[in-house]
Amino acid sequence: MLPETNHPSTSPTATTGKIPRLAIALAEWAERWFPDALVFAFVAIVIVFLAGLSNGETPWNLAKNFGDGFWELAPFTLQMAMIIIGGYVVASSPAVRGAIRWLARIPQTPRGAVAFVALISTTSSLLSWGFSLILGALLVREIAQNNRSVDYRAASAAAYLGVGTVWALGLSSSAALMMATPTSIPPAILKISGQIPLTHTIFTWQSLVTAVVLIAASVLVAYLSAPAAAEAKTVEMLGVKFEAETPTADKAQTPGEWLEHNGILTVLICALGFSYLAKIFLARGVLAAFDLSTYNFMFIMLGLLLHWKPRSFARAVTASVPATAGVLIQFPFYAGIFGIITKSSISTRIAEFFVHISSHNSYPVVIAIYSATLGLFVPSGGSKWVIEAPYILAAANQLHVNLGWVVQIYNTAEALPNLINPFWMLPLIGLLRIRARDIVGYTALQLLVNIPLVLFLMWLFARTLPYVSPGTY
C-alpha cells in the first residue's frame, strides 16, 4: 500500500477551465468505479468463456484450452518482468541519478518544468518504458525540490506520458519485439504472420513520424494544461514528504564482502556480455539482431556497469521486484484467455467479423478503436497482443493490409487507455507518494487530444505501405 498523505480536495475551483473540470470529473469517476486490473482480467475470461459457449464449444473443451494456455507465455512473462527490472536498475544507478539532478535544474518556470518532464518522459520511453517510468518519477521529485511553485499533479502526470503515448513505438515494444523474435512468437501466431523484423515495424519512417507528432502534441498539451500559479498544488500543499536518503555502507565490513564492494567481477562480466552483443550485432546487423532477448540482455549489462559494485546492483534489483508483481500474476491469466481464443473457433469468428465490417481502407481505424477499447480491460501491451494477434493478423491477410503496420496500429492505439487506466501508474505513484486520481485528470486531457490524432495517422500511413505476404519479409 502507498504511504498515507494528507491530500487536499482535488475538486475544480470556480476559475478552472471547462476542459480541466471535465477531466477531473472523469478522474473521480474512474477512481470510484474502476476495479483493480486483475479483476478486468477475470471479467475478460468470463466473457471469452461465454463467447466460446455461444459458438458451440463445450465447457470441458474451453476449460482445457484455458489450462493448456495458462503457462504458454511463461518465457514471455519473464521477459516482460525483466524489462521492468532492467529499466529500474539503469534509472536508479548513481550515474543516471546524477544526470537527473542536473536535468532538474534546467527548467526555470513551473509551466516549463511540466513540459520538460513530458519531453523527457516521452523520449526516454522510446528506449524503455520501464526506464521512462522510473526516470520520470525521480525527475519530478528533484524538480519539486528545486522549484517549489510547480504543480506537483501536472508534473507527475507528465512523467507518465511516455507509457500513455509512444512507448510501444520504441525499442521496448512488446508486440514488435515478439514478432521479431521467432522463439517468442506462439506457434498459432507464427503460422499466420511469420516473423516480422523491426525494420517493418518500429523502424519504418511512418512509425518514426508518428512518434515525433505524438511527442510534440503531448508536450504542448502538458504545457498548456499546467495550472497557473494561483491554482497550482505544490508538493507541500499535497502533503507529500520524502525522507532524506541515508547513505549505505560503501565499504566491505568483512573479508567475505570484499568482492561485493569493488568492480573486479563487474569488469569481467560486462566485458563478456558486451563482447557477445558486439559479436551478434556485427554478424547480423544491429536492427536484425535486436529482439526481446537481446534488448533485455543489453539493459541488464548496462545496469550492472552503471552500478559498478555488485552490492549496489543487487540492491537495485531487489528494489525493482515489487513493480513486477502485476506482470507475474496477470500474464498467466491472459495466456489462459489466449488459449481459449486460439484453440477454439473464437479466433476464426472474430477475424470473419472484422473482415465483414471493414474494408482495406477502414481496417486501420477499426483495429485502432478496438485495440484501444480492449486495453481498458487488458492493460498490458504484451499479453493483449497475443490475445488480439491471431484474429487481427488473419483479418489483415484477408484484407491485404500491411502486417507490419498492423503491429504498429496496435502499438499506437493500445497505449491510449494507459492514460486513464491506473495499472501501469503503480510504480510511478508509489515513488511520487500520490494517488492515481491526482494525475488522471491531466492524462485524460492528453487522451482527448490523442484519440483523433492516432486514428488519423494510422489511417493515413496505412495507405503508404503495400501488403507483403507472411514469411516474405
Q: Could you count the other beta carbons within 10 Å of the beta carbon of residue 377? A: 16
C-alpha cell at 136: 520520470
Q: Are 130 and 83 in contact (CB under 8 A)?
A: yes
pLDDT-based confidence at residue 16 (cuts at 50, 70, 90): low
Q: Give tens-digit pLDDT for 307-337.
A: 988 888 988 888 878 777 777 887 788 888 8
Residue with cell 568492480: 263
Q: From residue 243, how far is each of 20, 139, 387, 431 by CA, in Å?
A: 32, 16, 43, 12
User: Does residue 409 surpass a pLDDT of 90?
Assistant: yes
pLDDT of residue 465: 94
* Averaged pLDDT, 373-392: 77
Q: From residue 154, how far is each of 157, 160, 466 by CA, in Å?
A: 5, 10, 41
User: Does residue 145 surpass a pLDDT of 60?
Assistant: yes
Query: Quick one: CA dihedral 223, 226, 230, 236, positive or negative?
Result: negative
Query: Any idea what the Cα angle at residue 293 is, between residues 461 and 385, rounded to 5°?
Result: 45
User: Does residue 75 surpass a pLDDT of 70?
Assistant: yes
Q: From residue 407, how far is each of 256, 306, 421 by CA, in Å?
A: 50, 33, 22
Q: Give tens-digit pLDDT for 110-134.
A: 889 999 999 999 999 998 887 888 8
C-alpha cell at 191: 503460422
Number of C-alpha atoms within 13 angstroms, CB side, residue 410?
Answer: 29
Share above pLDDT 90 across residues of the chain, in percent, rounded to a whole number: 31
User: Does residue 156 surpass a pLDDT of 70?
Assistant: yes
pLDDT of residue 5: 43
